A and B are shown apart, each in its own frame.
Chain A
Amino acid sequence: MNAITASESTAQRILRHAVIPCLAFVLLLVVWDLLARFSGWSRQVFPGPLQVFMSLGELMLNGTLLQHTVASLFRVTAGFYLAVILGLPLGILLGRLRMARALLNPIIQFLRPISPLAWIPLSMLWFGIGDKPAVFLIFLSSFFPLVVSTTITVSAINPVFFQVAANFNFTRWEVITKIVIPAMIPGTITALRISVTIAWLVVVAAEMIAVQSGLGYLILDSRNALRMDYVMNGMIVIGLIGLLLDAIMRRLGRIESAGWYRNG
C-alpha cells in the first residue's frame, strides 16, 4: 500500500516538475504561432516560432550568439560582484551600528529610487565607451537593493544571539563571523536572488548604449537591421539565462551551511 502511494507520488512529482512546465512552454509556442499567423502583421514584423528557431540555430552556429551572451554575462558578473563586495559589508555595518544608519540611511534612501537608467548620461561621460559604463549601471542597479535588504536582515537578528556572544566573551570579529554572517544567510540569499534578476534586467538597457557587444546590443542592432527574428532570439536567450541565474541562486540556498533554518 505504502509502496504504491510512494510510486504514485514520484509520478506526480515528475508531472509537477517536468511535464506541466513543459506543457506550459508548448502552449506558449502554440499561442505565439497563432498570433504570428493571424495578427495581420507581416512575418518580418512578427515572426513565428519556426522562423525564430531557424535563425536561432543560425546565430548559434556562426558563434554570434555565444559571443554576445558571454559579453553580457561578463558585465553582469562584474557589476554584480562589485555590488556584493561593497554592498554586503556596508549593509552589515548599517545593520549593526545605529549611528552609521542615522548617517547614511537618508542618503541611500535618496539615491535608491533613482533608476539606473537615469545615470546613463553621467556614466558615459565619466567612464567613456566600453564595458565600464555598463558595469557601473549594473553595479548601481543591484548595490542599493543589496545594501537595504542586508541592513534589514542584520538589524532583525534575534538579540538573544548577541547576548550569548557577550556571555561567552566573543570579540567583535567573532560576533561578525560566528553570529552575524550565519544568521544573515537565509535573508541574504533571497536578496541575492532578487538583485541578480534586477542586474540582468539592467544589462540589456546598459548595452544599448556605449558598447558594440552583448545581448542588449544584439537586440538594438537587429532592430536597426529590421531583423525581428534576431530581436526575439536575444529575448529568448535573456529569458533562459534569467531562469538559469535564479536556479543557481536557489541552489545556493540549499547548501549545507544554510541548512539549519530550513526546518527551523
Chain B
Amino acid sequence: MGHIVIQNVCQAYRNRRHHTREGDDPAIGYGDCIQVLDNVDLEFADGEMVCILGPSGCGKSTLLRIMAGFEPATGGTVSIDGKQVKRPGSDHIFVFQHNGLLPWMTVWENVGLGLRHMQAPQARAEKISEHIEMVELEGFEHHYPHQLSGGMQRRAELARALAVNPDILIMDEPFSGLDFLTHMKMREEVVNMHEFIGKTTIVVTHDIDDALIMGDRIVVMSERPARVKMNRTLDFSRPRDFQKDPALNKLRSEIFLMLGVAYAV
C-alpha cells in the first residue's frame, strides 16, 4: 500500500550568513530563517502517479526529501498508510537526480542492494536478473556505473528501487540531464512501469509536458515559501497527446499561466 497524507508541512532553514538570535523558532521563520515550505497539505491515493511542478528553487525537492525521511520537517507530518515517516526505509525509495548508483559496485551489485537479506541465493539472483531485464540492461550486469550512459544509469537505479518492491517511489527530476530522445524513452518506460506495477509514484519535475503526459494528479507549487497552488486529478485516457486533446491543451496553458510564463511568445 502507498497512501500518503501530508499535513501542514512547514520547513525552514536557518540562514547561515546571519547569527541566530536566542529563542528564534525555526518553524516560524522570521529574521534569520528562510522558510521553504508553508503549510503544505496533500493527500495521494495508493497507486497514484503524482507529478509535482513548481518554479525552480521553490522547495519541491525539499518536500520530496521530507517524504523520503532524509530530513525532518520543522512542522507538520508526512504519513504513509497512517504511519508517520521519521526515517528513510526500503518501503519508500528515493530515486536520485543523478549519481545515485554506488560507483564501486557493478549494475548487478547495485540492483541487489535491497535484496541483501534474501536467504536463498538462487531466488535472489533470479530477482536481480528479472529487474535488470525489466529495464533492458541485460549484458551490462558486470559493468560499473561510469561505463554506462546517463540513461542506462537512470534505468539501473530504477531497477534497484523496484527490486525491493517498495510501496512508494519518489523520483527527483528523473529525466534532467538526459538528451531529448532518451528523455522521451525514459518517460515512456516510467509510465509503462507504473501501469504495470501500480506503485504510488511521486515525480518532481520542471517539465510541464512530462507532468501532463504522466500524471494521474498534478500538483503545482508556488514560489518560495512553497504553497500548493493547484492540486488536480487528471482523468485523461492514455496515450495522451496534448496537441490533439483540446482539454489537455487548455490545462497546459493554464499551468503555464500559473507558473507565470507566457506559452506563446
Identify the A interface with B (CB < 8 A).
158, 160-161, 163-164, 166-169, 174, 178-179, 182-183, 185, 257, 259-261, 263-264
Contact = CB atoms under 8 A, between A and B. Distances in A.
Contacts of B87: 166
Contact of A161 (B90, B94, B102): B102
Contacts of B164: 168
Interface in B96-111: 96, 99-100, 102-105
A163 B88 contact: yes
Interface residues of B, number: 24
A160 B90 contact: no
Given A167-B90, A168-B114, A260-B146, A158 B99 contact: yes
B78 interface: no
Nearest to A166: B88
B80 to A, nearest CB: 14
A164 B100 contact: yes
**Main secondary structure on chain B at its contact with chain A?**
loop
A193 to B, nearest CB: 20
A178 B96 CA distance: 19
Nearest to B88: A166
A160 B146 contact: no
A167 B87 CA distance: 8
B106 to A, nearest CB: 9
B99 A260 contact: no
Nearest to B98: A160
B68 interface: yes
A163 B68 CA distance: 10
Contacts, number: 58
A113 to B, nearest CB: 30
A168 B90 contact: yes
Nearest to B144: A260
B113 interface: yes
Given A166-B88, A167-B88, A168-B113, A183 B104 contact: yes
Contacts of A161: 102
Which of A167, A179, A185, A259: most chain B Cβ within 10 A?
A167
Contacts of B99: 158, 160
Contacts of A257: 104
A222 B220 CA distance: 83
B140 interface: no
A163 B89 CA distance: 10
Contacts of A158: 99
B60 to A, nearest CB: 17
Nearest to B71: A163
Nearest to B114: A168
20 contacts: A163-B94, A164-B100, A167-B90, A168-B90, A168-B93, A168-B164, A169-B90, A174-B116, A178-B102, A182-B104, A182-B105, A183-B104, A257-B104, A260-B103, A260-B145, A260-B146, A261-B146, A264-B103, A264-B144, A264-B145
Given A169-B90, A260-B146, A264-B146, A164 B96 contact: yes
B70 interface: yes
Interface string B65-87: 00011100000000000000001
A-B pairs, 4 with minimum CB distance: A182-B104, A264-B146, A166-B88, A260-B104
**Main secondary structure on chain A at its contact with chain B?**
helix
Nearest to A257: B104
B144 A167 contact: no
Given A260-B144, A263-B146, A167 B89 contact: yes
Given A158-B99, A160-B99, A161-B102, A167 B93 contact: yes
Contacts of A264: 103, 144-146
B218 to A, nearest CB: 26
A160 B116 CA distance: 20
Interface string B24-67: 00000000000000000000000000000000000000000000
A169 B147 CA distance: 27
A51 B145 CA distance: 57
A20 to B, nearest CB: 32
Contacts of A263: 146-147
A167 B102 contact: no
A181 to B, nearest CB: 9
B146 A167 contact: no
A261 B70 contact: no
B100 A160 contact: yes
Contact of B89 (A169, A182, A261): A169
B62 to A, nearest CB: 14
Contacts of B147: 263
A220 B241 CA distance: 86
B215 to A, nearest CB: 24
